[in-house]
Amino acid sequence: MSDVLLKLLGFVVRVGLLLAGLVFFASLMAAGLLVLILWLLRALWAKLTGQPVSPWTFQMNRQAMWQRFNQGGFGQPGRATPSPDNVVDAEVTDVTEVTDVEPKRITPR
């Protein structure tokens, strides 16, 4: 008898999960349809008023993001210049003098 109850309970759980999935899928479709209707009404209004139809876009300022993470360092927002404690002194050498290269003659073919 308990075997029949377990099978019946398993069937009820499967049907419940199937119904939950169908409700979720239907809600996603309804949301997509609503966005589509809004965009079509916006495009129709733009055509009626003689304005160009422009797509909905999300614009990003990549330069600001680069400056945020490149200059301030991770975990230090708002700090644009390094502190003098973190500066390492290095000896400057002249790199215009090349001494270890042998000149080669290039002949045209």
Query: In terms of pLDDT, which residue wins out, 16 or 66?
Result: 16
Token output for 47:
């055509």
Cβ neighbours of residue 52 closer than 8 Å, sequence gap 6 or more: 46
The least confident of 22-31, 75-84, 96-105 is 75-84
Give the position of tokens 């490149």. Answer: 70
Domain spans in the chain, listed from the N-terminal domain onward = 2-72
Distances from the Cα of 50 to the Cα of 28, 37, 42, 44, 46, angstroms: 33, 20, 12, 10, 6
Check if the beta carbon of residue 35 is closer than 8 Å to that of residue 55: no
Contacts of 53 (CB under 8 A, 6+ apart): 43, 46, 47
Give 67's pLDDT tier (boundaries 50, 70, 90): confident
